Amino acid sequence: MKKEKIEKPKKVKKPSIVPYLKKYRGIIFLYILIYLIGCAVDIFLTIIFAHSIELITEGAFRSAIIAFAILIGITVAEKGLWYSVNLIYYKYSNKIMSELNLDLAKQAFKLNSKSYSDHDTGTFVQRIVEDPARIIDNLSNLIDTIMSIATSLVMFIYIATLNIWVSLAFLVIVVIGFLIEYYRMKFRRKHRSIVRKKNDKIHSLTTEIVRSEKDIKSLGLEQQLSTVSKENYEDYRKSRYKMDIANHSFWATTNFVVNIGTLLVLLLGIFLMDKATISLATFMIIYSNRGSLWDLIHGAGQIANTIIDIKVSHGRMFSLFDEKEFITEKFGDKNLENVIGEIEFKNVSYTYKEYEYINPYEQKNNSGEGNSNTNSSDTAKTKKPKKKKGWFSYEPKLVSENKIFENLNFKVTPNTTVAFVGKSGSGKSTILNLMSKMFEVDGGEVLIDGHNINDLNKDTLRRTISLVNQFPYIFDMTIEENLKLAKADATQEELEKAIAKASLSEFVESLPKKLETKVGESGIKLSGGQKQRLAIARALLRNSPIIIFDESTSSLDNFAQEEVKKSIDGLKGKSTIVIVAHRLSTIKNVDKIFFLDNGLIVDAGTFDELFERNEKFKSMFLAENI
């Protein structure tokens, strides 16, 4: 009996920068070829220049003039080559970088809400915007350095053919320099990613301070945030200073060795000229290439630094595709055409888990730093973290967990308006996040029209549900452009209807530019109520059968709250409306209220019914209206 072949699961190919470079391999080949020709021309210029000097010392002035004329011609050609190289670099490096930015941004769109809540803003900005720029610049620097080293090596070989003793002296200095560089690179590798992580932290903090400028001033938080900023900046400064000062010490040592070594080589050259072992032209070639010692040693260090930076940037950049750290949204393949808006939770369980994501190399480096009591036996047992092709194996570490729901059950009838109320932390917003699939349930099912939302495709889910957050994001565009984000082909009539339903018509008509008015970054030119109503109008344009309002009036004054409440009331009976409310007075007219307490629905009914029979609900309402 033949054994059935068990198919091995296909390995998921990790994304890398290689496909982006392959796309332009012809241009990259041309870039390197022109670069090689330029380097060869540089070597040729050095030899001709040395020969010209020798002709002058011999009194062959006519021949020297011809040699210098050739030098001028070759120099002009050389400048043309380097100009071409730069043109190619600027044009195509920006193309590759833009493609990387776009693909990383697209991947960020695929991540679930938990991935965003687990990471700060700086994490995404660095990976999407800054790391691609770093990696492209470093790849160019790598080519520059390799070519510089190749040029220096060719000159060394040429010098070796002229005089073996000079080349041996050069070699001794280079070996000493390499040893110093080896220890410098080892130190830098250890501390580089730690510094980058702390840089991310201050980047996020600075972004938050800029965005919350009004809150900081109005609450008088300047001193407190200055203290927090100082601590974070100081932490970054110390780490950066430690790395920079060590780096500088290594460089200073290398520089000293190279400078003294160069002088000794030139002294040897003079001695050999005195003995008539080498000619003046040979000495001039040695003199002209004295900087090659530095190029070789510095180049070796630069290659190592650049490769480290490329690996760090590459690992960070493409970690957005790593499901261990950045979890993507998962959708089914079922398409629903006519959704009526019934919602049901069946035995739903959900636990909020907080993870910490640590680069194991940083963890390893930090574990022994400044800790003299580290147990050596424990250290010996620590496994070396796996690393492959610039990827760091991030293992999420569970920091805390909080069970929100266990076997939660309820049903929302189509085209009704319901509200979820309860104390902070009772699970109101979590229900909305599970309902809109921003969070994934641990157990049980969330159903829309009897279909598990995990089976629905992305298009069905997104067009079925519209969500208006407590603090909706309004983009730095015109009112019309903000609205058309929800429906690009919306007609003028559709825009006006959405604005009217959101009780925003009067405000828009009062503006000199009407719909063409720019609202500023985060809608800074609008009041809180205007932002909410614009967000409602944007949601209405999508004509979704289910519209969710998450604490949409909690941050508004009474007048703005009433305006938004009118907007929501105007939708009754046309869609399934789900509201999470902080103020109970805003949900008096809903069809049904679910009252939550410690992750359980302890009561449900109309406002009047709950007020009559539920003492906790009654106490909450009375406390709100004292």
The string of pLDDT tens digits covering residues 154-200 is: 777 777 777 788 778 877 887 887 788 777 777 776 777 677 777 77
Of these ranges, 101-105, 362-366, 581-585, the one predicted with the greatest mean pLDDT is 101-105
As a whole number of angstroms, the distance between CA 417 and CA 426 comes to 20
Instruction: With beta carbons less than 8 A apart as the criterion, state whether 329 and 183 touch.
Output: no
In the chain, what are the domain boundaries?
18-321, 405-624
What is the torsion angle, in degrees rounded to the nearest 10, for the CA atoms of residue 506, residue 512, residue 517 and residue 520? -100
- Where residue 321 falls (left for φ over 0; alpha for ψ -120 to 50; beta otherwise) is alpha
Poorest-confidence range of 49-58, 352-361, 399-408, 525-534? 352-361
pLDDT, tens digit (0-9, with 9 covering 90-100), for 269-290: 888 888 778 777 777 777 776 7
Block residue for tokens 């930015």: 101
Instruction: With beta carbons less than 8 A apart as the criterion, state whether 437 and 467 touch.
Output: no
Instruction: With beta carbons less than 8 A apart as the criterion, state whether 385 and 361 touch.
Output: yes
Of these ranges, 283-287, 349-353, 397-401, the one predicted with the greatest mean pLDDT is 349-353
The upper half-sphere exposure of residue 40, i.e. CA atoms within 13 Å in the direction of its Cβ, equals: 7
What share of the chain has pLDDT > 70, as a percent? 83
pLDDT of residue 377: 38
Helices (H), 337-391: 360-368, 376-381
Stretch 209-222: mean pLDDT, rounded? 62
Does residue 291 or residue 217 have the better pLDDT? Answer: 291
As a whole number of angstroms, the distance between CA 343 and CA 414 comes to 8
Burial 178-201 (b: 16+ CB within 10 A, else e): eebbeebbeebbbbbbbbbbbbbb
pLDDT of residue 235: 81
CA dihedral for 413, 414, 416, 417, sign (positive or negative): positive
Stretch 334-352: mean pLDDT, rounded? 88
Rounded (10°) angle between helices 558-569 and 528-541: 10
Q: Which two tokens stand for residue 456?
A: 């629905």
**CATH of span 18-321:** 1.20.1560.10
| Selection from 408, 169, 403, 181 nearest residue 289 by Cα | 169
Integer CA distances (angstroms), 46 to 52, 58, 96, 472, in order: 10, 19, 36, 65
pLDDT of residue 285: 73
| Selection from 211, 215, 301 nearest residue 253 by Cα | 301
Q: Which two tokens stand for residue 33?
A: 């070829």
Please state the pTM of the whole predicted model.
0.63
As a whole number of angstroms, the distance between CA 267 and CA 272 comes to 9
For the cut 60, the answer to whether the pLDDT of residue 116 exceeds it is yes
Block residue for tokens 């120099």: 75
Poorest-confidence range of 194-198, 418-422, 491-495? 194-198
pLDDT, tens digit (0-9, with 9 covering 90-100), for 70-103: 888 888 888 888 888 888 888 888 888 888 888 8
pLDDT of residue 390: 43
Does residue 545 or residue 243 have the better pLDDT? Answer: 545
The upper half-sphere exposure of residue 514, i.e. CA atoms within 13 Å in the direction of its Cβ, equals: 6
Residue 387: pLDDT band with limits 50, 70, 90? very low
Instruction: With beta carbons less than 8 A apart as the criterion, state whether 525 and 214 touch.
Output: no
Specify the amino acid at residue 199.
N
Stretch 329-335: mean pLDDT, rounded? 86
Residues ≥6 apart with Cβ < 8 Å to 36: 147
Instruction: With beta carbons less than 8 A apart as the criterion, state whether 175 and 210 touch.
Output: no
Q: Which two tokens stand for residue 484?
A: 């058309």
Stretch 7-12: mean pLDDT, rounded? 48
Stretch 13-42: mean pLDDT, rounded? 85
Residue 452: pLDDT band with limits 50, 70, 90? very high
Burial of residue 314, with CB atoms counted within 10 A of its CB: 0-12 exposed, 13-18 middle, 19 or more buried: buried
pLDDT of residue 556: 53
Q: Which two tokens stand for residue 142?
A: 């790598």
Stretch 392-401: mean pLDDT, rounded? 65
**CATH of span 405-624:** 3.40.50.300
Residue 369: pLDDT band with limits 50, 70, 90? very low
CA dihedral for 275, 277, 278, 280, sign (positive or negative): positive
Block residue for tokens 């938080």: 221
pLDDT of residue 451: 92
Of these ranges, 80-94, 223-237, 369-383, the one predicted with the greatest mean pLDDT is 80-94
